[in-house]
């Protein structure tokens, strides 16, 4: 889908589907014993593991995303910790998208648990959008999982549909239209609007815009001045049905791979290096899949004491090989340690490790140097990942990947760009 459009559209024909407590609900779907119980999906289930997805029942008991497991269990003693199962969530995501595409060809996954279904071109086929939304809910229950629930927002554009989906959880169905938008916005604060955080809210308030209704009725010129960019005009379009600015499928601007580190892993320097290597190989796989190379690399480490290490570099010869990226990040860490006479950056206080790549160019635009033709290595990577995609990630393994301490596979709510349909 790439259907941004600058024309007035007043009919609520865009649906935003938000799966409720998706990771936990997938676990409850596959394990009958977990149903009705407060469940916390965690990367690691040790006392200091982090809750990444509480179930509906856990949320009702006050458990929130980001809590440490020991804190969550003090709040909810009968909480059931479950280790994350990324392949399960990916599988359910794929099944959901398949169901959505039966209703419309215009489906845009926004994250692993959210999708836009644009029915604007299907108004003759679906005379009642609320009835169609109920049919989608039923199709999810009967064809994907009877324990899965979703909230659906319906509006003339994707932004307002997402806002509507947030207003009634779980299992909600809310419509925003020209007839009720002022009533809806009048009950909300600026930070209730998707995409407005504390910093943006402060900027708007400095410009005299103190509420969603103020935002709706401010002129486009004033909004551009306050927001200091075209974003202000986009807010005017979203809240006044003047066009669609959220349905384009954007190309990658950057890729990131991030891992939280368990207590056991942070005790071993080799284990921390293995995590770093795995992150770089993950970025390699994504770049091979998307057929491009990077010219900028970022690496960072976050520590439990609140301190951080950040590094960024650019290179003239584009890179794609994960082991080369790993060697580069690791060598710069060691150089930093020597220059500043610091202790090891990968130490027992590490909380999180991350690597990012950006400044992409298409693979077919890469120019090889006169003295080093890497085309054979590039072809090897393509073949390697094609085999892994077809026969499984462990069907063919490089010697550099043969480690016993392979990190747990993780998935983020936004990690959908590499999922096949």
Residues acting as catalytic residues: 114
From first CA to last CA, the distance across the chain in angstroms is 14
Is residue 80 within 8 Å of residue 63, measured between CB atoms?
Answer: no
In the sheet with 39-42, reading across from the earlier edge strand, the strands are 51-54, 39-42, 80-83
List the beta strands (DSSP E) in 119-209: 150-155, 173-175
* Closest alpha carbon to 171 in 207, 221, 134: 134
Q: How far is CA 185 from CA 178, 188, 213, 243, in A?
A: 11, 5, 6, 19
Residues 25 and 18: their CA atoms lie apart, in Å, by: 13
Strand pairing of 150-155 and 173-175? parallel
**In angstroms, what is the C-alpha Rg of the chain?**
24
The angle, 0 to 180 degrees and rounded to 10, between the axes of the packed helices 220-227 and 231-239 is 140
Strand partners for 314: 296
Per the rule left: phi > 0, alpha: psi between -120 and 50, beta: everything else, 211 is: beta
CA distances from 202 to 236, 267, 280, 339 (A): 18, 42, 37, 40
Strands (E) located in 331-402: 350-362
Assigned token pair, 172: 């909600």
Query: Which positions ≥6 away from 17 have C-beta within 8 Å?
Result: 96, 100, 114, 115, 116, 117, 136, 150, 151, 152, 165
| C-beta atoms surrounding 186 within 10 Å | 11
Tell me which residue has tokens 């169901």: 99
* DSSP 8-state symbol, 156: S
Look at residues 252, 359, 374, 367 and name the one whose alpha carbon lies nearest to residue 295: 359
Rounded to an integer, what distance in angstroms lies between the CA atom of residue 237 and that of residue 255?
Answer: 29
**Which tokens belong to 272?**
């921390």
């Amino acid at each position: 889908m790439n259907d941004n459009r600058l024309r007035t559209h007043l009919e609520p024909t865009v649906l935003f589907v938000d799966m409720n407590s998706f990771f936990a609900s997938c676990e409850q779907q596959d394990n009958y014993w977990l149903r009705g119980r407060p469940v916390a999906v965690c990367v690691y289930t040790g006392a200091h593991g982090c809750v990444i997805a509480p179930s509906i029942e856990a949320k009702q008991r006050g458990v929130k995303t980001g809590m440490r497991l020991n804190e969550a269990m003090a709040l909810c003693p009968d909480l059931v910790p479950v280790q994350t199962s990324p392949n399960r969530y990916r599988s359910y995501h794929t099944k959901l998208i398949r169901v959505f595409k039966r209703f419309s060809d215009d489906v845009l996954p926004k994250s692993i648990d959210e999708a836009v279904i644009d029915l604007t071109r299907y108004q003759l086929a679906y005379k009642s959008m609320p009835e169609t939304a109920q049919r989608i809910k039923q199709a999810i229950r009967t064809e994907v999982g009877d324990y899965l629930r979703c909230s659906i927002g319906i509006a003339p554009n994707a932004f307002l549909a997402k806002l509507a989906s947030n207003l009634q959880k779980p299992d909600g169905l809310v419509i925003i239209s020209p007839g009720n938008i002022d009533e809806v916005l009048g009950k909300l604060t600026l930070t209730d609007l998707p995409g407005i955080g504390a910093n943006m809210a402060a900027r708007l308030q400095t410009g005299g815009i103190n509420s969603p209704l103020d935002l709706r009725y401010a002129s486009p010129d004033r909004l551009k001045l306050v927001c200091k960019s075209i974003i202000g005009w986009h807010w005017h379009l979203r809240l006044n049905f003047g066009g669609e600015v959220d349905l384009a499928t954007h190309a990658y601007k950057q890729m990131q791979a991030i891992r939280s580190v368990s207590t056991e892993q942070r005790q071993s320097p080799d284990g921390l290096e293995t995590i770093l290597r795995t992150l770089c190989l993950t970025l390699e796989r994504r770049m091979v899949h998307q057929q491009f190379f990077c010219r900028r690399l970022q690496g960072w480490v976050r520590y439990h004491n609140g301190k951080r290490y950040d590094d960024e570099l650019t290179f003239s010869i584009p890179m794609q090989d994960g082991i080369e990226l790993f060697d580069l990040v690791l060598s710069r860490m060691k150089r930093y340690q020597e220059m500043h006479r610091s202790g090891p950056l990968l130490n027992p206080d590490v909380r999180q490790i991350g690597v990012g790549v950006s400044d992409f160019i298409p693979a077919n635009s890469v120019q090889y140097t006169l003295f080093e033709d890497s085309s054979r290595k590039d072809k090897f990577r393509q073949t390697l990942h094609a085999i892994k995609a077809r026969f499984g990630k462990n069907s063919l393994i490089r010697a550099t990947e043969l480690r016993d301490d392979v990190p747990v596979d993780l998935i983020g709510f936004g990690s959908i760009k590499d999922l096949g349909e």
